[in-house]
Structure 1
Amino acid sequence: MAQENDFHEFYQSTRHRVVTVLYALSGNMADAQDATQEAYARAWQRWSRVSSYADPEAWVRTVARRIQLNRWRKLRNGLAAYRRHGPPAAVDPPSENTTALVTALRQLPVDQREAIVLHHLADLPVAAVASQLGVPVNTVKTRLARGRRTLAQLVGEELTEENANA
């Protein structure tokens, strides 16, 4: 409890200065606040050691500044990669069939939708679907049959005996 109080007092008495310094260095208040918050979280995790330093505030300031610099490096590297590779290729819009299927799936009860998606889209065998959903295999088979029947009605297709047993 004393350790928590010590950290709380340390935080209350130093946070404004640390944020101010980082803001002055970066010119971005949100970035300064984020880096400061992360640095204080790290200080809290190591408070038994950090509190014994001659200047714990300097440790927090240094860690926060490094966090800031690492974020800038990541942004700079991301920008360099973007320039090197160009923008990502345009993605075609979903087909009419995909849109119709997703619309129909949304209308199914959740248990049937889960069974159909895991079995048909994720290519899981019925036993694996049952295991993942925590239900018996026969329950999955029932959900699949009912879901297929409802999907067929929703997308306007005739459900053949072959599709029903697939």
Structure 2
Amino acid sequence: MATKTASHSAAETAQDRSATEDERLPRQTAGTGRDANTTVSEGTSGTQEPAATRGRTSIAGGVVEKIAGMAAREVPGVHALGGTLSRTLGAVRDRVPGGRAQVSRGVKVEVGQRQTAIELDVMVEYGVPISDLAREVRENVISAVERMTGLEVIEVNVSIVDVRLPDEELEDDEPRVQ
């Protein structure tokens, strides 16, 4: 588990707090052609330093996307992530031999050196109180991402893009013809 190291001084922490959100948040976005790694801890080098602080820890944006996607799906009442088109294309891609389910579908992240922001497109089950569901999704995603990556989650934006009605016969992953 990556944690901030002692090499972060009190002055650096105060400077981080005084920076605007634009300065703190990412210059890297997962899913782009650029290197989407973020530095969680900046270690030191040299044989005289403790082993735990030698080197850096980098976390790719795709890792944060997967963690957030899994955490959001754990909340009861979340039927799926992603918009209609995303889910349709994903279902086709999942059926291709060798293909596998995409955990990060419907998840976008922006990752900085110490912070991240997350956007989720959620399809909910009919009858679930949406405001309560959104609050539970935020809590679960923030907890999972911060615990597993050591990054500070500054926001989780939840967009409810669809509602699954009880009379809908086919699930996204059921084939039409058997």
Using the size of structure 1 for normalisation, the TM-score is 0.24
Q: Determine which structure has greater relative contact order: mean sequence separation of CA pairs < 8 Å that are 6+ residues apart, divided by chain length.
A: 2
Q: Larger radius of gyration, structure 1 or 2?
A: 1
**Larger proportion of strand:** 2
More helix by share: 1
